[in-house]
Amino acid sequence: MNPTLVLTALLVLLAGGMIALQAPTNVMLAKAGGSPVLAALISFAVGTAVLFAVWLASGNRPGVAPFGALPWYAWVGGVYGAVYVAIAAYAAPRLGLASLITIGIAGQILMALWLDHIGALGLMRQPVSAMRVVGALLVVAGVVLVRRG
């Protein structure tokens, strides 16, 4: 197996685990501040500071010119994360962490199938197939099992 793909998959696995950690830590912030939106704001402020420090340490300074040609929707990616973090801070204590994560993954898979199918946002077009639908249905079945378990 390609070592780069293995490393990439392990990094994604680690990132997925961090998403599970993010929700309960943001719940703590939401309880302390009385607002899931404030919790998301604090979370993103800390994340922004960390990313800024890593970017500065990287030495990568592309300038602003490459960003000028981007379409407007390239600028709203952070909105999706902010909405997720705020909703997760609200929903985790109400649904439980496992339900929050599995429902979220089901939403990710459904959106990913659609985006792949239409080749949205510069992605390679990958039409929906029976196997992909079965895979998505298995994830939805997993959501139901986790929720009822």
- Residue range 34-90, pLDDT digits in tens: 999 999 999 999 999 999 999 999 998 888 888 888 999 999 999 999 999 999 999
- Nearby residues of 88 by Cβ (< 8 Å), 6 or more positions away: 22, 23, 26, 100, 104
Q: Does pLDDT of 140 surpass 90? A: no
Exposure string of 104-120, with b = 16+ CB inside 10 Å and e = fewer, is bbbeebeeebeebeeee
CB neighbours of 132 closer than 8 A, spacing ≥ 6? 113
CA distance 88 to 76: 19
Asked whether the predicted pLDDT for residue 32 surpasses 90, the reply is: yes
Residue 99 has pLDDT above 90, yes or no: no
CA 40 to each of CA 25, 30, 49, 94: distance values in angstroms, whole numbers, following the listed order: 10, 8, 14, 17
pLDDT of residue 103 exceeding 90, the answer is no
Q: Which residues are within 8 A (CB) of 20 and not within 5 positions of it... i.e. 6 or more apart?
A: 97, 101
At position 105, the amino acid (one-letter code) is: I
Residue 147's pLDDT band, with cuts at 50, 70 and 90, is confident
Model confidence band, residue 115 (pLDDT cutoffs 50, 70, 90): very high
How much is the pTM? 0.79
What pLDDT does residue 146 have? 83
% of the chain surpassing 90 pLDDT: 61
Give the burial class of 5: count Cβ atoms within 10 A of its Cβ; 0-12 exposed, 13-18 middle, 19 or more buried.
exposed
